[in-house]
């Protein structure tokens, strides 16, 4: 049986540096900013997402602000994030819908959030967790990969990993789990060439046993 509590404790106390973008989402408790920043981050590296997010927020920080931003302006601000044209359109559409149908408030449920175009379960969960402090499990490729490497579960897709984690991961770890594993996955447990020799949780890893 994997001692997940011990693994979380070790990774929380590790001195592994967080990316600027991870630090940014940790300190911002504004659900709208978390939501649109997460949309930018999809299929884009943090070192590109972070400065793009800062440029975007110079245009606005509320749904109302983005009603006065053109798609061309937003595209220019967020370039070169992946699929920047589509993301600019999605952010503007979400802003308009929030103002018209939600009194400018980001919904507090996954079911409502995933109705927005471009918002999947990963983005919805991160918005709830980092924007509202609502216990939610945000599963990206890092969380999916590390959980499977550890042998904590055996799944094929991140969405499947989320559903399994909801059943087996103690709720006390839900809010921090993504941040901890993303940092570990970016710096140590990389998809190619993982640094197993300096990994603080190597003794628990099914990959090395």
Rounded Cα–Cα distance for residues 65 and 31 (Å) = 15
How confident is the prediction for the chain on average, in pLDDT? 94
Our CA angle for 111, 114, 120, nearest 5°, is: 130
* Residue among 79, 95, 76 at smallest CA distance from 33: 95
- Across 162-181, average pLDDT: 96
- Across 124-141, average pLDDT: 95
Confidence of residue 208 (pLDDT cuts 50, 70, 90): low
Residue 122, pLDDT above cutoff 60: yes
Rounded Cα–Cα distance for residues 157 and 171 (Å) = 21
pLDDT tens readout for residues 85-106: 999 999 999 999 999 999 999 9
pLDDT tens readout for residues 36-55: 999 999 999 999 999 999 99
Higher-scoring residue by pLDDT: 25, 156 = 156
pLDDT at 209: 44
pLDDT at 29: 81
Work out the burial of residue 14: count CB atoms within 10 Å of its CB; fewer than 13 is exposed, 13-18 middle, 19 or more buried.
Answer: middle
Residue 172, pLDDT above cutoff 80: yes
Confidence of residue 2 (pLDDT cuts 50, 70, 90): confident
**Proportion of the chain above pLDDT 90, given as a percent:** 89
Rounded Cα–Cα distance for residues 181 and 137 (Å) = 12
DSSP class of 63: T
- Give all domains of the chain, ordered by start, each with its CATH number: 4-16+137-204 (1.10.1670.10), 20-132 (1.10.340.30)
pTM for this predicted structure: 0.91
Higher-scoring residue by pLDDT: 28, 208 = 28
* Residue among 18, 53, 51, 1 at smallest CA distance from 185: 18
- Across 137-151, average pLDDT: 95
Task: For tokens 């245009």, name the residue.
Answer: 59
Of the given ranges (7-21, 75-89, 169-183, 195-209), which has the lowest mean pLDDT? 195-209
* Residue among 201, 196, 203 at smallest CA distance from 181: 201
- Interhelix angle 31-41/46-57, rounded to 10 degrees, is 140
DSSP class of 44: S
Of the given ranges (55-64, 81-90, 198-207), which has the lowest mean pLDDT? 198-207
Our CA angle for 96, 100, 104, nearest 5°, is: 80
Confidence of residue 15 (pLDDT cuts 50, 70, 90): confident
């Amino acid at each position: 049986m994997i001692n997940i509590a011990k693994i979380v404790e070790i990774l929380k106390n590790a001195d592994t540096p967080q990316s600027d973008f991870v630090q940014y989402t940790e300190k911002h408790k504004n659900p709208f900013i978390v939501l649109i920043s997460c949309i930018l981050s999809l299929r884009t590296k943090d070192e590109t997402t972070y400065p793009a997010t800062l440029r975007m927020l110079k245009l606005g920080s509320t749904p109302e602000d983005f009603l006065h931003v053109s798609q061309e302006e937003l595209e220019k601000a967020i370039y070169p994030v992946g699929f920047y044209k589509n993301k600019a359109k999605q952010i503007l559409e979400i802003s308009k819908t929030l103002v018209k149908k939600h009194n400018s408030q980001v919904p507090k449920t996954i079911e409502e959030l995933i109705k927005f175009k471009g918002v999947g379960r990963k983005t919805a969960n991160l918005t709830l967790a980092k924007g509202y402090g609502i216990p939610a499990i945000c599963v990206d490729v890092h969380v999916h990969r590390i959980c499977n490497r550890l042998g904590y579960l055996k799944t094929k897709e991140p969405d499947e990993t989320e559903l399994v984690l909801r059943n087996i991961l103690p709720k006390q770890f839900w809010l921090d789990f993504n941040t901890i594993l993303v940092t570990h996955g970016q710096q140590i447990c990389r998809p190619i060439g993982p640094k197993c020799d300096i990994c603080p949780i190597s003794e628990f890893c099914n990959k090395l046993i």
